[in-house]
A and B are shown apart, each in its own frame.
Chain A
């Protein structure tokens, strides 16, 4: 090896071909995926909540994907009724599929836990609702206000076990409400068109179960 050009061009060509195969080719194939009729675009407040989800790094403990029942037990665990497909994510920018489950999967959390207040309390202090939880608490998304100074628009949350005689109340800030709105919006239960499921979407399915 005495030529820079051999190394440089060879290295470039190999990486370029990998980019073609694993980035550009899928882009060409997946670019045409249409949103299923049952999937609504995110609303402004849900998008704000999604930004909070990214900002606080929820992805490092929560995934947003259900894998095929023939491969794992995600469906048995009640995290969804079917495996998620590319069409479920067309409005996700960027994706939040995640690679860690220190906490449960969230792609259908709106189905399991539809109560906004539950999420607000849980965000303020997870252990007030789930004793074994090791999730981070997010008290900074809330404000402690004197009850006398509450305004009608304030969203007060009732933390279980908090002193009832307290003269202050816990008020959810807009970011907390947006995050909770985003969480309860997460539902991927509608039927997906057969085409998008069958074409190349047999995830971990029988045909290549090694």
Chain B
């Protein structure tokens, strides 16, 4: 039974090895570095400055200190109501 499926076992091992090598390669190339910037790629300047109605005054002050004066949100800015 085992010999007949040897090819399959080897293939499984190779594919798994391949996946592992891809990750190692990606890591060595630096794709996993600077993750903080990667996580911010969906935001544009406006996103940081929009006044959010649920912010506390302290949160808002902190955001304004970092990103500048607040911008008013559009109608429906948050998807649906308000």
From B23-31, B43-51, B52-60, B66-74, the one touching the partner chain is: B23-31
Measured between beta carbons, the chain B residues less than 8 angstroms from A17 are 11-12, 15-16, 18-19
Cβ contact within 8 Å between A29 and B32: no
Name the residue on B nearest A21 (C-beta): B12
Cβ contact within 8 Å between B12 and A3: no
Contact of A13 with B by CB under 8 A: yes
CB distance from B47 to the nearest CB of A (A): 21
Beta-carbon contacts under 8 Å, A13-46 to B: 13-14, 16-17, 20-21, 24-25, 28-29, 32
Measured between beta carbons, the chain A residues less than 8 angstroms from B18 are 9, 13, 17
Measured between beta carbons, the chain A residues less than 8 angstroms from B7 are 28
**A2-B7 Cα distance, complex, nearest whole Å:** 34
Q: Is the interface of A mostly helix, strand, loop or mixed?
A: helix
**A3-B23 Cα distance, complex, nearest whole Å:** 12
Contact of B42 with A by CB under 8 A: no
Cβ contact within 8 Å between A24 and B11: yes
**A10-B1 Cα distance, complex, nearest whole Å:** 30
Cβ contact within 8 Å between B9 and A6: no
Q: What range describes how many residues of B lie at the interface?
A: 20 to 34
CB distance from A107 to the nearest CB of B (A): 25
Contact of A148 with B by CB under 8 A: no
Measured between beta carbons, the chain A residues less than 8 angstroms from B8 are 20, 24-25, 28
Q: Which of B1, B29, B32 has the most CB of A within 10 A?
A: B1
Measured between beta carbons, the chain A residues less than 8 angstroms from B25 are 6
A6-B38 in contact given A1-B31, A20-B8 (Cβ < 8 Å): no
Cβ contact within 8 Å between A1 and B12: no
Name the residue on B nearest A31 (C-beta): B4
Measured between beta carbons, the chain B residues less than 8 angstroms from A24 are 8, 11
